[in-house]
Copies of this chain bind each other. A is one copy, B any other.
Amino acid sequence: MNETLVTVVGNVATEPETTVTATGLAVTRFRLATTTRRYDTERGAWTDGPTSFYTVRAWRTLAGNVKESVGLGEPLVVQGRLRVREDEKDGRRYVSAEIEANAIGHDLSRGVSRFTRASSTAL
């Protein structure tokens, strides 16, 4: 309840890294960058807006398949639950926007993909 679902279309900004939690779950983490483009009615042209960065986490089977399939700079569509996280460390406050991914796919607006229905070994 009160979940904030979000879909972000963007590019992989850091190499996906997979770790295993203390309870034995695989999790893959990477940063995703998205830049809006808007039609400027005054200038009659499309222009780039600001870039937003998200930390994406994928778990279990999705973690393994993302690690195996996704590289730096590739275009993705990511759907998941959004959370704005605030942490304190050394007296400083850190804020980050995180997405716990439900589904991740290569954006076919930018290229072609060959899909194989085969999940990585679950951890």
The interface of chain A, by Cβ under 8 A from chain B, is 1-10, 34-39, 41, 44, 46, 50, 52-54, 58, 61-62, 65-66, 68-71, 74-77, 79, 81-86, 92, 94-97, 102-120
Asked if B53 contacts A86 (CB within 8 A), the reply is yes
Dominant secondary structure of chain A at its interface with chain B: strand
Query: Residues of B contacting A74 with CB < 8 Å?
Result: 115, 117
Query: Residues of B contacting A35 with CB < 8 Å?
Result: 2
- Report the minimum CB–CB distance from A93 to chain B (whole Å): 9
Asked if A84 contacts B119 (CB within 8 A), the reply is no
Given A2-B36, A41-B39, A50-B85, A119 contacting B110 (CB threshold 8 A): yes
